[in-house]
Structure 1
C-alpha cells in the first residue's frame, strides 16, 4: 500500500502544497495566492491568518485524493518571517509579521552596531547588522510599538505559527533561528543570552525548542485532524526557511553545487561545511544536517516581484500570470543592453551583498524612443545582473554550472539570458527546486520512509543551457556599467531619504 507525504511551502505571495508518495511520485499539487501589505515605502507586513487559511484549505484539498490513514507525515516551511508573528499566551496572533522584505529598522540596525561591534556579531552569529534581520525589526517594535512588544508572549516564524496551531507545540527550526540573526549563536546552535541582553531583547519571547527538519516538531491534534481530513497524531515537521527546503528539493544534501532560486525574490546559495564569514553573505544552519552544514546566500529583495509589478501596473491587457509569457515573446528581439536602458532592481532596498536600505529601483537611459519591450527586457537583464553579482560573492571556486529553480526558471528567455550574463551553464530541473517538495523529502527522511541516497535520483535535469560566449563578452561591459550605476546613485538615495523623512 502506498504511503503519502504532504509538503507545504508558505510563501510571500502564496502557499504551495504537494502530495507525493514516499518513492517521489507527485500525486497532486495546488497553490493559493494572497498578498502582503506595504503601508509605507520600505515596509512589508503579512497577516498570519492568510497563511493559516491557505495551508488549511490546501491540506483539505490534497488530502481528499487519498485515504487519510495513508498520509504519514507533513513537512511545512515558510518565507523568512523577519520579526515573526507576535502571539499572546493563548497562541493568538495580535499583530502582523514584519517580513524579510521590510526595511524600516534602519536606525535600529545602526544602533545594534553600536551595542555589539561588527566583529563580535560576525564571530558569534556569522551575520551582521541590517534591517533585513528579524532582531533589528524586533528592536524597532520595542521602540515604536511597545504595547504590542510587551503583550507578545512569543514571536513565531510563519511555519512555527502554523505548526503550533496544528500540534499545540511551539518550536523553531535552526535555520529560522539563524536567519533571525543578532541573538543566535551559530557556533553553539542556541540563543545568545549575552547578545540579547546587549541588544535589549527579551530572550523569553522566542521559542525555546529548537528542531531539525528531520525530527517531528509535534503531532496533529484531534480538533485540527477533523478539520483537515487527516488522522490524529500525524507527525508534522518544521522545515524552516523556504529556500533551505527548496535547495533540498534540487537534491542538494551535501556541500557543492550553487543553487539559484528565482521567485518573488532571488537567492543564490552555496552549502558548505564551514560558514563563509566576512563575505557580506546571509548565513544559517542548513535545512538538512544543521549541525554539520551551513547555508550561505546572497540575493535580491525583488526579482520576480519587479516583473509582476511591471505587468500589473503597465500591461493592462495581460494578467500577472500570462503577461510575462507574452512579453517574453514580444521582447525577444530586443538587443543586449535594451536599446540603452539599464535598470537597478532595488525596489525595496537591497540585502546581501549590497546591504543598502535607502537605494530604490532606478531606470537609466530612458528616452522618447524607448518602448515597453525595451523596458521589460531591461528589467529581465537587471535580474540576471543581480544573479551574477550574488554568485560572485562565493569566490572563484564555484564551478561552471548553476542549478536554477523557481518560477522564473520556466522562462526560456530568462534562463538563456542568465547563462549569457553569468557565463555559466544553467541547469533546470524537470521536478525539484520547489520548497514544498523539499519539505516533503525532509519529512520523509524524518520518518525513515525516504532514503537520502534516493533523493538525487528523483531530481532529473530538464535542460542544460550553455552560455553564448560572444554575448557574454558584450554583457561583461554592461555588467560593469550596472555596478557603476549603483555606485553613482547610492549617495543620491542616502541624501534623498533624509529629505523624504523630513
Structure 2
C-alpha cells in the first residue's frame, strides 16, 4: 500500500461482463472482481443492454464484491468505462427510456447511415454501424414516444457518471463517434440543420477531467465515501489501451474481447474512409480505430455448440472449458488440416464495413476434426486482425509496437497464431483486466499523480512477449491470400443463402 493509503477504483462494463479493480496509489492491483451479464437481441441486427440491470446493477455488484476485499472508505477517486459508442435516451431525471442500443454490432442504423452517406457526406468519412448519429435518428423516426421524452443521449460510462455525480458528460474520445455532430478537433458540438438538438448531447470533458464528487445518494447506494472524486468516463477500448500500456504515438492496442478492437495512437489527425478517427485521451494525440464484430464470441459459440465434453469436465471441477479447447486446438497443425473459416458470423465492421457478411467453414472432409474446426476459427480471427493492420498501414498508420489485452489475451494459442499470421510481436501486460485497470490509472491522472494519461500508461510493464515463428511466414502469407479470395468469392452465395434462410 502506498504511504498515504489512498485507493483508486476502476470499473468497466463490457459486452458480456463487468469488471473492476482497486489499485493502490502506485498502481498495484489489490482487488479485482468480475460479473457476467447478457446481451439481448430482440430481433436480428438489434443488440441491447438493460442499463439499470447490466450497467448500474453491474457497477453496484462489482463495487460490493470489491468492498469485501478492501476498505471502500479509502477510495479517493474512481473512473468508469463501458462498451461504446452506445445510445441510451434518458428522461429529465436520468431514467432510461428504453434498453441501450449497443455499438457497431447493432446494425439498425445502417440504412439511415447509407442514406446520409448518399445525401450529406461528412468530412470525407463514411458513416457505418458504429456511428451514433444514424442510431439517434433511428430513435426519432421509429420510437416517437421515446423521442418525445428524451432529455439526454448518453453512453454507458456517461450513464454511470450521471448516477454518481448528477452531471451528464462524455469524453472527447467517445464523442468522436458522434460525427458529424462534433468539431474535428473535439472542442465543441456543432449543429446540423434539422437533426439532433445540441441540448440533447452531454457536456464535453477531457478524458482525465474531474467531473465531481459522488453525491450523498450515490455514496449511500454504493458504499463509497462522500467526497470520492469521479473522473471522466470513456469507452472501454480507450481504457483497455491505457491498461495495456499504450500511450505514445505508434502504440497499437489489440483488444481481445467478445469482439475485437484496435486503437493506434497518432501524433496527428488524418481522415480515413475505412477507420474511425478521433481525439485520443491526452491533448495533442489522436487515434485511428477499427473493430471486428466477432472474436471471443466465435470461440464461445464453438464451446456452446461443440464443447460439451469440455464444459462437463469443467463442471466436475476440471480446468475451464476454454483452457481445454485451447489445448484441443493445439492438436491441429497450422492450416487446420485444410480448413479455412470466415469469421463474419454477425457481419463485419472494419475494414469491410459489411453488416450483411456471414461466416463459413470451408474445406471440410471426413478427416476433419473438432480440433481442426477450432483452429480454423482461431486462424480466421488472426486473418481479420491482419486485414485491419494491413489496411491501417496502407493509409500510412504503421504501428510501432503491438499491445494485447482483454480476456482473449489469456488464450496463448490465439496470441501465437496472431503473431505468426501478422509477423509481429505482441506485448502482454501482467493483468489482462485492461479497461478497469486503465480506468484506475486515469483516476490517478485526475488526482494529479501523473501529468498525462500516457505517463500513467507507461507504468504498465509487459509480463511476456509473443514472437512470430519465422518458418510460418510464407505459409500464412499464402493462406491469407486465400482467406481474402474466399470472402470475395462466397459473398454472393452467402447473400442468397441468407435471403432464403427460411421457407
Q: What's 1:258 paired with?
A: 252
CA 1:315 to 1:69, structure 2 compared with 1: closer, same or farther past 3 Å? Answer: closer
**1:500 CA drift (Å):** 6.3
| Secondary structure of the structure 2 residue equivalent to 1:122 | coil
Q: What's 2:51 paired with?
A: 48
| Secondary structure of the structure 2 residue equivalent to 1:54 | helix
TM-score when normalising by structure 2: 0.92
Q: What's 1:21 paired with?
A: 24
Q: 2:210 aligns with which of 207, 216, 238?
A: 216
| Alignment check: 8 A CA contact 2:85 2:130 kept | no
**1:474 CA drift (Å):** 0.4
Q: Distance in 1 between matches of 2:276 and 2:502?
A: 28
Q: Distance in 2 between matches of 1:51 and 1:318?
A: 31
Q: 1:88 aligns with which of 88, 91, 108?
A: 91
**1:347 CA drift (Å):** 1.6
Q: Comparing 266-275 with 428-437, which one deviates more in the overlay? A: 428-437
Q: Distance in 2 between matches of 1:418 and 1:43?
A: 30
Q: What's 1:133 paired with?
A: 131
| Alignment check: 8 A CA contact 1:409 1:428 kept | yes
Q: Distance in 2 between matches of 1:154 and 1:493?
A: 40
| Secondary structure of the structure 2 residue equivalent to 1:112 | helix
| Secondary structure of the structure 2 residue equivalent to 1:178 | helix
Q: How many residues align?
A: 489
Q: Comparing 104-113 with 427-436, which one deviates more in the overlay? A: 427-436
TM-score when normalising by structure 1: 0.92
| Alignment check: 8 A CA contact 1:420 1:468 kept | yes
Q: What's 2:164 paired with?
A: 166
Q: Distance in 1 between matches of 2:132 and 2:338?
A: 39
**1:495 CA drift (Å):** 5.2
| Alignment check: 8 A CA contact 1:108 1:140 kept | yes
| Secondary structure of the structure 2 residue equivalent to 1:249 | helix
Q: Distance in 2 between matches of 1:358 and 1:415?
A: 28
**1:456 CA drift (Å):** 5.0
How do 1:292-331 and structure 2 match up within 5 A?
292-319=284-311, 322-331=320-329
**1:9 CA drift (Å):** 0.6
Query: What do the CA deviations read for 1:152-211 (whole angstroms, capped 9, x no partner)?
Result: 2111101111111111111111122112333222235322203xx25x33333221x111
Q: 1:115 aligns with which of 115, 119, 124?
A: 119
Matched, 1:77 2:81: yes
**1:41 CA drift (Å):** 2.3
| Alignment check: 8 A CA contact 2:245 2:461 kept | no
CA 1:366 to 1:348, structure 2 compared with 1: closer, same or farther past 3 Å? Answer: same
| Secondary structure of the structure 1 residue equivalent to 2:33 | strand
**1:18 CA drift (Å):** 0.3
Stretches of structure 2 that go unaligned for 5 or more consecutive residues are none
Q: Comparing 243-252 with 317-326, which one deviates more in the overlay? A: 317-326
| Alignment check: 8 A CA contact 1:78 1:159 kept | yes
Q: Distance in 2 between matches of 1:436 and 1:399?
A: 24
Q: What's 2:184 paired with?
A: 186
Q: Distance in 2 between matches of 1:66 and 1:428?
A: 27
| Alignment check: 8 A CA contact 1:358 1:493 kept | no
Q: Distance in 2 between matches of 1:454 and 1:131?
A: 33
| Secondary structure of the structure 1 residue equivalent to 2:287 | strand
Q: What's 2:222 paired with?
A: 228
| Alignment check: 8 A CA contact 1:282 1:352 kept | no
Q: What's 1:104 paired with?
A: 108
Q: 2:199 aligns with which of 186, 196, 204?
A: 204
Stretches of structure 1 that go unaligned for 5 or more consecutive residues are none
CA 1:238 to 1:363, structure 2 compared with 1: closer, same or farther past 3 Å? Answer: same
**1:441 CA drift (Å):** 0.6
Q: What's 2:398 paired with?
A: 398
Q: What's 1:354 paired with?
A: 352
| Alignment check: 8 A CA contact 1:239 1:245 kept | no
**1:499 CA drift (Å):** 5.6
CA 1:374 to 1:300, structure 2 compared with 1: closer, same or farther past 3 Å? Answer: same
CA 1:426 to 1:70, structure 2 compared with 1: closer, same or farther past 3 Å? Answer: same
CA 1:333 to 1:492, structure 2 compared with 1: closer, same or farther past 3 Å? Answer: same
| Alignment check: 8 A CA contact 1:216 1:237 kept | yes
CA 1:163 to 1:354, structure 2 compared with 1: closer, same or farther past 3 Å? Answer: same
Q: Distance in 2 between matches of 1:188 and 1:310?
A: 41
Q: What's 2:40 paired with?
A: 37
Q: Comparing 61-70 with 12-21, which one deviates more in the overlay? A: 61-70
Q: Distance in 1 between matches of 2:139 and 2:457?
A: 43
Query: What do the CA deviations read for 1:237-268 (whole angstroms, capped 9, x no partner)?
Result: 12311111111112222212222111111112
**1:70 CA drift (Å):** 2.0
